[in-house]
Structure 1
């Protein structure tokens, strides 16, 4: 029974609890036991939430008393350690914030609790949530459950490793350039970055640059992403970017009245991609076509004209460095890899900054044109499968690339704000998960979830778990 519980998705767990087939205490205990058995090798969980079992007992008592229950009643969840959690350590991956305990929950955490979910633990992240790997001076390095010598990605690598290893069924992550989707791809779970502003950033740090930061769920199934999205999305009266009203379909979405149009690509100006990653995207496109979906190989001229990663870097340096200087002042001996690297980078000139802003506008126009013709874009999540720790550079198709090139296929949708989802659809020759990315136009989350749900039924790698 315990094995079943740690590999069940949140939707199933909620139904089992609601129908009395299992108690919230049993579900929470099963995941706590899994943390005890597995986390020492992974270091994905950095803080257990005091009182999780007590909260689970209260959930069982409320259910027994016939009280109204939310869609996640009694189901445990985890949150990246950049989310404020009332009464629970939130240390942001840095000794500078060691021992920090917030008084209030981030909006996303509060909404999960209101839906009945039980906060189980906080998960590891790189310093300040900035890097493609999960490591820091305070809580150390997180390992990939599929291969301990490899990274689970960053910056939500602790969250992805925890879910992949059965320590959590559902989690809260954040995404600046890759951090929701890349870690999910590296560990074989699913994740969703909705349209920018759909889920408030209130109570999450850092928030600079606000234009690029997104909040999103990570889970074991597409239906869990839809469930969590419905719980999390909507204005909170505090985040000025979270303005879209709750007038959306929070389910898996229905097929439009006309046939869905899907375009797929593996290059189109995004740089070299690992051959096995490219083959997985093609396989997903072929599977959709065989299922009756209209699918075309496409190119997007806007991506070939303006490099999104270069634009992101120029904007990022100008907007993030002041925030980092402020928080690290007087704590220079406690700075880790990325903040040290960033401090040494030259500032972006005003001219380059303005040109980058205009480049982003051209990208948005280019994607608007693309999504006028197609409903969905299918492409890689990361340009290579999960890599070894401390990646400096790598070679793809004879070209040597900087480590951050792994995000060249995710960062376009941070600078434009499009909804994008990561889901596994293949396996590398050395046994690592390979994912595909499903993207739609702004606020078309139901379209993303609809196509992802269809792909999930077609996937050759459903219900595979790391052998831990």
Structure 2
């Protein structure tokens, strides 16, 4: 049974625990055993929570006593090591924060615990969550369980690798430009970045700026992500961007009363895109057409007019540099290369900053126009499947592009605050997962989750897992 437990999703585990078919102690121990068996090759886990088994024993006692329990009672979860966890080290992938132990849980962690979930471990990340690859000077490089020579992505790469390899059924990641959805696509799991502000960022550094940053659930099933989202969303009275509760939902609900209007887009707007990725997006579009959606290829002129990645870079680097500079002053020799490179970037001029802000507004207007006639957009998550470690550029369709091109289909949602979900729908010729991204209008997460459940039910790869 223990080997099976690490393959079950969180929803199933919670049901089994409530029915007394399995104890929380068995579930937690099975995942700890799995970490011991495989993580030496993956390096996804950086700290195991010392009290995980103790919390499992308390959860077991509550079930045996017949107490009312939460929807995730006794189910283990992991959290990216940038998210504060009371009494458990949160080191942010940096020697500068070595041994740091927060006194309080981040809001997202506290909400999962309130639902009965048990913190199992913290997961690897790039320094300060600031790279599309998971590597740092403190806890080293994380590997993709589908191919150890390839990246699981970043910055929630350790989280995605842990879930894909069965070390955790459910996790929390953060997303600044790609960091939940990209790693999910690289490892074949599900990751949700909800509308900006849906889930409070309280307890996640840096406190300022937060306007592009998100925290979101990652799991191996859509129903787990949906359940976690329902527990995580809503104001906490501390994050000024988090103002809308779950009652505010512009979506169509899980059982829409009419066919959903879905546009699909690969190029132009997100290109260049690898042919296998493009074919997977088209296959997902055909699958949605097959279950009754009104599907058509589309173009979004705003994506062709303004470069979302350039907008993001001009705005965000100026805003985040002060926070990074403050904590690293006098300790620059302990910084990872990408953090040093970011701090060395020239400041954006005031005129360029204003132009970037105006371009961001045009991009929001362009998406508002698109969602006036469509319920959702189907597009790539990444331009290529998971790549080898350490690449600085890729060649796609005969064209060399910088590694930052990996952000091209995800960063528009951070600049505009739109919700997006990554779900696997294909496999590359090298046996690697290929994901697609489902995007809806602001506050329409129910539409994203409904379409994701339709794709999950029709997916040709829903039961595939890495061999490790």
- Maintained 8 Å contact 1:288/1:455: yes
Range that drifts further, 213-222 or 283-292: 283-292
**Equivalents in 2 of 1:450, 1:253: separation in Å?**
7
Q: Secondary structure at the match of 1:125?
A: coil
- Maintained 8 Å contact 2:200/2:235: yes
- Maintained 8 Å contact 2:76/2:170: yes
- Maintained 8 Å contact 2:250/2:442: no
Alignment of 1:65-84 (within 5 A): 65-84=65-84
Runs in 1 of length 4+ with deviation above 4 angstroms? Answer: 248-252
Q: 2:106 corresponds to which residue?
A: 106
In the TM superposition, what whole-angstrom CA distance separates every residue of 1:54-75 from its partner, at most 9, and x where no partner exists? 1001001011111110000000
Q: 1:333 corresponds to which residue?
A: 333
Q: 1:181 corresponds to which residue?
A: 181
- Maintained 8 Å contact 2:78/2:168: yes
TM-score by length of 1: 0.98
**Equivalents in 2 of 1:251, 1:351: separation in Å?**
37
Shift of 1:244: 0.5
**Equivalents in 2 of 1:372, 1:248: separation in Å?**
18
**Equivalents in 2 of 1:99, 1:427: separation in Å?**
40
Shift of 1:2: 1.8
Shift of 1:398: 1.3
Is the alpha carbon distance of 1:225 and 1:248 closer, same or farther for their aligned partners in structure 2, counting shifts above 3 Å? farther
Unmatched runs of 5 consecutive residues or more in structure 2: none
Q: 2:245 corresponds to which residue?
A: 245
**Equivalents in 2 of 1:279, 1:132: separation in Å?**
24
Q: 2:35 corresponds to which residue?
A: 35
Alignment of 1:19-98 (within 5 A): 19-98=19-98
- Maintained 8 Å contact 1:230/1:250: no
Q: Secondary structure at the match of 2:151?
A: coil
Q: Verify: 1:410 aligned to 2:410, yes or no.
A: yes
Q: 1:127 corresponds to which residue?
A: 127
Q: CA RMSD in A?
A: 1.3
Q: 2:398 corresponds to which residue?
A: 398
Is the alpha carbon distance of 1:292 and 1:252 closer, same or farther for their aligned partners in structure 2, counting shifts above 3 Å? closer
Q: Secondary structure at the match of 1:237?
A: coil
Alignment of 1:318-397 (within 5 A): 318-397=318-397
- Maintained 8 Å contact 1:252/1:449: no
Shift of 1:327: 1.1
**Equivalents in 1 of 2:173, 2:105: separation in Å?**
15
**Equivalents in 1 of 2:89, 2:9: separation in Å?**
26
Q: 1:200 corresponds to which residue?
A: 200
Shift of 1:283: 0.4
Q: Secondary structure at the match of 2:6?
A: helix
Unmatched runs of 5 consecutive residues or more in structure 1: none
Q: Secondary structure at the match of 2:273?
A: coil
- Maintained 8 Å contact 1:79/1:159: yes
Q: 1:445 corresponds to which residue?
A: 445
Q: 2:269 corresponds to which residue?
A: 269
- Maintained 8 Å contact 2:371/2:441: yes
TM-score by length of 2: 0.98
**Equivalents in 1 of 2:446, 2:337: separation in Å?**
38
Q: Secondary structure at the match of 1:20?
A: coil
**Equivalents in 2 of 1:388, 1:254: separation in Å?**
38
**Equivalents in 2 of 1:14, 1:267: separation in Å?**
42
Q: Secondary structure at the match of 1:7?
A: coil
- Maintained 8 Å contact 1:82/1:206: no
In the TM superposition, what whole-angstrom CA distance separates every residue of 1:417-440 from its partner, at most 9, and x where no partner exists? 011000000000010000000000
Q: Secondary structure at the match of 1:185?
A: helix
Is the alpha carbon distance of 1:250 and 1:16 closer, same or farther for their aligned partners in structure 2, counting shifts above 3 Å? farther
